[in-house]
Amino acid sequence: MIRVTLKDQSVKEFEAGVSVIDVARSLGAGLAKAACCGKIDGEVVDLRTSITKDCNLEICTFSDEEGKKAFWHTAAHVMAQAVQHLFPQAKFGIGPALENGWYYDIGGVKPFTPDQFASIEAEMKKIVKADLPVEKRIITAEEGRTLFAGQDYKLELLEEYAAKGWELSVYTQGDFTDLCAGPHLMSTAPIKAVKLTQATSAYWRGDASRDSMCRMYGTAYPKASELEAYLQQQEEARRRDHNKIGRELEYFTTVDVVGQGLPIILPNGAKVIQQLQRWIEDTEEQRGYQLTKTPYMAKRELYKISGHWDHYLDGMFVLGDPHDETKECFALRPMTCPFQYQVFLNRARSYRDLPMRLGETSTLFRNEDSGEMHGLIRVRQFTISEGHLILRPDQLEEEFRGCLELAKYCLETVGLAEDVSYRFSQWDPNRTDKYEGTAEQWEEAQGAMKKILDHLELDYKVGIDEAAFYGPKLDIQIKNVFGKEDTLITIQIDMLLAQKFGMTYIGEDGKEHYPYIIHRTSIGCYERTLALLLEKYAGALPTWLMPTQAMIVPISEKHHDYAQQVLQKLKAAGIRAEADWRSEKMGYKIREAQLKKIPYMLVVGEKEAAEQTVAVRTRKEGNGGVMSLDDFIALIQEEIRTKQTSVSVIEPKND
């Protein structure tokens, strides 16, 4: 008998060899019906997996992230089976689950058009209705060669997996069999609602020299109502997409002759980034950071010392031949750390000089793949609030806590704190070629970070093989409106690079010691932050960040003189204001200002001029009534000073 500890910490005994699905059945028919996969001691497993020893077991349903992926992975197979029925010449590549569904790369066919989606969906529904059992079996490479004869992409994968000594498994549902590691549902029946969302072209295995394939995207849910809710959410996401809003409101643009991933930040976007940058630099100075300014490029020798040349060369823009050692070669910087270390190395340092907190508004360059480019979220040139803390080992926890508190403060101020999650990114000990240092050094660094995170009671997930090549990191993750996750802020512990650069300080004992280093950002990449803010607020940014904070609307030309007085007084008070001098109807000008998401519209006419007042309208509440100009200035100044995330509440009145 074996003891299985369940999610609620209850313990049940079973005969050794019991399957995950049988455990679920023993707990209730409802749970077994909803089960999508399992987790044994934290590892995601198929429902068919046998349990042979005492363990912790979690049954994952569609409400769990792992359950969703197993559900969508099975739905991808259903789609492939439907395509096989309708297009027998199709050849199948890979079909992984994504954040909100799946894609499947299919060769032998032209990219499907939306008018073909309905027929594929109808065939998928037939397969679901048939309630086909999904069966798993282990095969030999020879069996696989026979099974996938004519399926060139599957055969390529088969040979690659066999050469690595991996277990070869296939899943079969009806007349469709796929080479797959799983996990999968027990049958096709739970996939009640399906929707194909997009078809694009993609090169096999991302290689432009290989075949061009059709990449089909789709999603599925256990209930039609859940699918409908998701589609409505996607419609809202398209409305909030920063690529749409940012261009419409003239925050940024892109130009083909400039290049992909190289956006032009227009005056509106530049003003927002300027406000963020000034605030961050002032905030960091208040917290003991020293400002630096370092070159945008360096000779390859610098990057060889740091390790970037060996571990990051493909992601760098190189000026010259990187392989010709007889000629000088430069590269644009992908990060600032090796440059800022030179500040520390400028003279001898004592333990009294530490911690040294160095901050810089750094423009960086990374040669991202063309398929990864996305508006302002992933670009090839970007500006980041970068910093490095050089410290004694006994200062590590306190300084790490300070970095985390700063990041949280920045997120809370801009209104993104509730949207983030935390990932403890660790190395993969099986990929030692990817990382610097020894296993002992990594265990020390990761152990120190785990102790700190646990002591801070931070709720985090572990990400294996997500570390920097020189050390573990805390990644503060955030999703865009479409659910795609990216890293916004990082805090990294580095116990390796100080030694590579010969960075030492004289300790209290009079001896030389290597410091620890924390690499960190406080608000991350300004371009990415701008994109996320545009999506978060649907373009209606907090007043303190808005390029234009107030629009003055004179009722007619005879009120221009007073409007000019109001404009001058607002600007003198530090408020970014404009006036609409056009000979248009007042309602039209107000509506246009609201479409531009301007927080306040100040209507002025004869009465307002006589009484030195303004009729206030907000982008959200409409008519806010009449107040003195001085009172309005005090109100908006306080809103800007306190960095409120919404416009001030003004008692609404009827128009």
pLDDT single digits (tens) 441-462: 899 999 999 999 999 899 999 9
For tokens 């290597």, name the residue. Answer: 514
**DSSP states of 308-336 as a string?**
HHHHSGGGS-EES-TT-TTS--EEE-S-S
Q: Which residues contact 258 (CB under 8 A, 6 or more apart)?
A: 264
- Three-class SS state of 293: coil
Residue found under tokens 């027990």: 186
Average pLDDT of the residues in 274-300: 97
* Rounded mean pLDDT, 555-566: 95
pLDDT on residue 653: 45
- Pull the structure tokens for residue 606: 């004869």
By mean pLDDT, which of 81-95, 225-239, 640-654 is the weakest? 640-654
Tokens of 256: 């083909």
pLDDT over 90 (residue 339): yes
Give residues with Cβ within 8 angstroms of 178, minimum separation 6: 77, 80, 92, 95, 154, 170, 171, 172
Residue 654 has pLDDT above 50, yes or no: no
Give the pLDDT of residue 649. 57
Q: Please report the pLDDT score of residue 207 as a whole number.
A: 86
Token pair recorded at residue 422: 């935390």
* Side chain identity, residue 356: M
Per-residue model confidence as pLDDT tens digits over 353-390? 999 999 999 999 999 887 778 899 999 999 999 999 99
Structure tokens at 647: 């416009």
Beta bridge partners of 290: 358
- Whole-number pLDDT of residue 652: 44
Looking at every residue in the chain, the average pLDDT score rounds to 94
- Give the mean model confidence (pLDDT) for residues 500-521: 96
Enter the DSSP assignment of 351. Answer: G
- The reply to whether the predicted model has a pTM over 0.75 is yes
User: 177 Cβ partners below 8 Å, 6+ apart?
Assistant: 147, 170, 171
Q: How far apart are the first and last CA of the chain?
A: 77
Band of residue 647 on the pLDDT scale cut at 50, 70, 90: confident
Q: For 64-68, what is the mean pLDDT?
A: 95
Alpha helices (H) along 415-540: 439-455, 497-500, 526-536
Which amino acid type is present at position 473?
K
H-helix or E-strand containing 489? strand 485-494
- Structure confidence at residue 150 (pLDDT): 93
Under a CB-based contact definition with an 8 Å cutoff, are residues 220 and 101 in contact? yes
102: nearest Cα among 194, 35, 169, 19: 194
Mean per-residue pLDDT, 511-537: 96
Q: What is the pLDDT of residue 650?
A: 61
Tell me the average pLDDT across 265-276. 98
Range 233-254 average pLDDT = 95
Confidence of residue 230 (pLDDT cuts 50, 70, 90): very high
318 pLDDT band (50/70/90 cuts)?
very high
Mean pLDDT of all residues in 19-27: 96
Q: What band does 646 get if pLDDT is binned at 50, 70 and 90?
A: confident
